[in-house]
Amino acid sequence: MIKTIFFDIGGVLIDIHPERTYQYISDSADLDINTVKELFPWDAHDKYERGMINNEDWFTAYKEALPQPCCLKSSDFWNAWRLLLGEEKNTIKILEDLNNKYSIWLLSNTNPKHVQDEIEKRYLFPRLVNGAVYSFDVGVRKPEKEIYEIAMQRANANPQDCLFIDDLLENIQAAKQIGIEGIHFISSEQLKQELVHLGIINEY
């Protein structure tokens, strides 16, 4: 019986707009947008989301990955980084309906800048949940098994009592491998239908 529901953030609760970030950096640093995309420092980003490097180190790594000499200013970079996060999705209404009956948690691969400066200040959903597990805070990322185990430990939950909602199939598959029920999020309407099918919400 489901008692605890974990929600991913980006792509599930809020829209994500990488093109806006790339375009802002392209304009600010006078670089072709395709160059900006191709040179994204994924290794440093992975470390950033694991809490292995801080905000300043992330900016430095990003700037150094671009063609040198690079004129990208810190202020422009952080404006671009903020633009990655868009508006709340209709999924928030579903979360509101669930939070009276279930323990609701956030489970996200994310970074301190987005959480502290954007997520906790701009959006409603952090105030509707019982807690949050962020990759940078625990040192592991989805789809690694450890992050799901940490999430369940913090929520005081067992796998068979949990449901995990994420827009990336590999993250759902990893959760299922340790006994957590999962829904691969495609749209708010599809999520409603899946929740009805599982008996978690009534037919709308």
> What is the CATH classification number for the domain harbouring 108?
3.40.50.1000
Supply angle C-alpha 88, 108, 157, rounded to 5.
110
Q: Are residues 149 and 160 in the same domain?
A: yes
pLDDT of residue 202: 82
* CB 185 within 8 Å of CB 10: no
Torsions phi, psi of 130, nearest 5?
-80, -25
- What's the whole-model pTM score? 0.95
Is 187 inside any structural domain? yes
* Nearest of 192, 183, 177 to residue 163 by alpha carbon: 183
Confidence of residue 200 (pLDDT cuts 50, 70, 90): very high
Q: Which of 83, 111, 131 is the last residue of a domain?
A: 83
62-94, pLDDT tens digit by residue? 999 999 999 999 999 999 999 999 999 999 999
The reply to whether 154 falls in a domain is yes
Q: What backbone phi and psi angles, to 5 degrees, belong to 90?
A: -65, -15
Q: How confident is the model over 150-198, as pLDDT tens digits?
A: 999 999 999 999 999 999 999 999 999 999 999 999 999 999 999 999 9
Same domain, 137 and 45: no
Do 101 and 112 have their domain in common? yes
Residues 48 and 59 in one domain: yes
Closest CA to 56 of 111, 103, 110, 126: 111
**82 vs 6: CA distance, rounded Å:** 24
Is residue 93 within 8 A of residue 79, CB to CB? The reply is no
Nearest-angstrom CA–CA distance, 146 and 149: 5
Question: Residue 203 pLDDT more than 90?
Answer: no
- CA-based nearest residue to 133, from 49, 26, 29: 49
Query: What does the pLDDT read at residue 204?
Result: 56
